Amino acid sequence: MSHDPLSPSPRGPHCPPATVLEALSVGEAAPEAVRAHVEGCTDCRGQLAALTSGREAFLRAKPPELFLRQLERRAAAAPRKRWLRPLLAACVPLVLLLLIVPRLGEENGVRLKGDAFRVVVSRAGGAPELLAPDAQVHPGDALRFAYEAPEAGHLLVLELDGRGAASVFHPYGSATSAPLAAGQREFLPGSVVLDDAPGPEWLLAVFSPRPVEAAPLLEALRAQAGRAEPSLSCEGCRVMMLRLQKRP
Amino acid sequence: MDDVQLARLYEQYGYLVHRRCLQLVRRPEDAEDALQETFLRVKRYDGPREGGSLLAWLYTIAQRCCFDLLERRGREPTLEEGQLAALEERGQGSPEDGDRRALLGLALRQLDGKTRTIGVLHFLDGYTQEEVAAQTGYSRRTIGKKLQQFEQRLRQLWQARPRLKERR
């Protein structure tokens, strides 16, 4: 077979991407030039017509009221268990936790709806465990992080330890944040092994629509060493904190 | 988001979201599963950023649901060729499009999350590399590198495909 799997689409050279036609089919806005092209293009009009009739048939087969009933049953049956099943299978003692506390300049009025910051600890010979606020951790424990946000952005996970040292845990040792896809529920790659600094260990997840420099935030954290609770100000960011208790 | 808003959203976008899920996970029962999970997550969220495309936002969530599902399915045996053929028959457009979608699904099972996201935006949504970079926040260099990996895997699968057909 001589085809190449990546050969250009049979779509004409001036036709918009498939997803633009899909957006047009549900009435979303498109540039005037795109609309003008679609009106005069047999292929594009044909694709729009196919999408419209496909939608009508889909809704006839499953109208909204039926779909909503299915959603209700699904939510009532197992609120989030379906997605935790693989983890549950692998981990025996599991404590689900999340401390979601906004630590931003209040003048920003940021929303935290839909965001979640999770930390899991792995110990030699033990099952991974999701950490609750003030959970006990020990030197040598390996931490992994997950951050879920409804939109794509950039993430930094910072640490302030009991000795007042601040560092970047994700992306580990980096000077800037790492891109984060929207709705990312998987744990981020790599883990961080805790050192022997005793006392409260603060983990701060900083999520921003734009890349974030770590240096000023680390400096701000170091300046707050010893305080009961640190805070961070970062324009346009959402900050969540989790305090752990490190014991020898 | 309340039920009235959710029903309206489903009425307008449910078909496209289901279609995208089917393209990604291939099994109708998995696509249904992913569609429901997508709208359950949508119910918890607040909507896209002001001025953002609802469809793009829903596709992003649906894609994440599908990838979660593919992760779980990754531990299961690969699909039978008959199921692959069924997908091609369901495909809209040219036979090449159906082949591409089928191979895309196979490749998705074998690549990391970042590469999957980039591959979907480029190969399914039809965006250029620059547009993918703008949408994901990854650098243009990262996009190029990841697409190379994706293309390499797709080509390997493409080469293996005639042998699969002969066994039918």
Residue A145: the pLDDT is: 86
Residue B101: the pLDDT is: 55
Is B51 an interface residue toward A (CB < 8 Å)? no
Q: A152: pLDDT confidence band, cut at 50, 70 and 90?
A: confident
CA A23, CA A34: separation in Å to the nearest integer? Answer: 12
Q: Is the pLDDT of residue A104 over 70?
A: no
Burial of A210 (0-12, 13-18, 19+ CB in 10 A): exposed
* Sheet order of strands, A192-193 included: A129-130, A116-122, A142-148, A192-193
Burial of A110 (0-12, 13-18, 19+ CB in 10 A): middle
Locate the domains of chain A by residue range. Answer: 1-77, 81-246
Structure tokens at B148: 């190379």
Structure tokens at A239: 């900050």
Closest by alpha carbon to B23, among B137, B113, B121?
A: B121
Percent above pLDDT 70 for chain A: 78
What's the mean pLDDT in A47-60?
90
| Closest residue of chain A to B75, computed from CA coordinates | A86
Residue A248: the pLDDT is: 81
Residue A88: the pLDDT is: 45
Residue A26: the pLDDT is: 92
Q: A92: pLDDT confidence band, cut at 50, 70 and 90?
A: very low
Q: Which region among A96-105, A145-154, A158-167 has the lowest average model confidence (pLDDT)?
A: A96-105
Closest by alpha carbon to A184, among A203, A170, A197?
A: A170
Residue B100: the pLDDT is: 54
- What structural domains does chain B harbor? 1-76 (1.10.1740.10), 81-168 (1.10.10.10)
Residue B162: the pLDDT is: 47
Contact A94, A88 (CB under 8 A): yes
For A:53-112, CB contacts with B below 8 A are: 54-55, 58-59, 62, 64-65, 67-68, 70-71, 74-75, 82-83, 85-86, 111
**pLDDT, averaged across chain A:** 77
Tell the residue number behind the tokens 């990312």, with chain if given.
A184
Is A46 an interface residue toward B (CB < 8 Å)? no
Residue B80: the pLDDT is: 40
Q: Is the pLDDT of residue A122 over 90?
A: no
Q: Do A64 and B64 touch (CB under 8 A)?
A: no
Query: Which residues in chain A have their CB less than 8 angstroms from residue B22's CB?
Result: none
In CATH terms, the fold of domain A81-246 is: Coagulation Factor XIII; Chain A, domain 1 (2.70.50)
What's the mean pLDDT in B80-94?
39
Residue A25: the pLDDT is: 93
Query: Which residues in chain A have their CB less than 8 angstroms from residue B39's CB?
Result: 67, 71
Q: Do B113 and A183 touch (CB under 8 A)?
A: no
Q: Is the pLDDT of residue B132 over 60?
A: yes
Query: Which residues in chain B have their CB less than 8 angstroms from residue A28's CB?
Result: 53-55
Segment B111-128, tens digit of pLDDT: 777 787 788 878 788 777
**pLDDT, averaged across chain B:** 73
Residue A9: the pLDDT is: 47
Q: Are strands A166-170 and A178-180 parallel, antiparallel or unpaired?
A: unpaired
Is B150 an interface residue toward A (CB < 8 Å)? no
So what's the ipTM on this one?
Answer: 0.71
Q: Do B64 and A7 touch (CB under 8 A)?
A: no
Q: Is the pLDDT of residue B90 over 90?
A: no
Q: Which region among A145-159, B58-72, B92-106 has the lowest average model confidence (pLDDT)?
A: B92-106
Q: How many helices (H) and strands (E) does chain B have?
A: 8, 0
Residue A19: the pLDDT is: 87
Residue A101: the pLDDT is: 33
Percent above pLDDT 90 for chain A: 18
Residue A90: the pLDDT is: 46
3-state helix, strand, coil in chain A (%, to 5): 30, 25, 50
Within 13 A of A237's CA, how many CA atoms are on the CB side? 26
Q: Do A9 and B97 touch (CB under 8 A)?
A: yes
Q: Is the pLDDT of residue B87 over 90?
A: no
What's the mean pLDDT in A190-213?
87
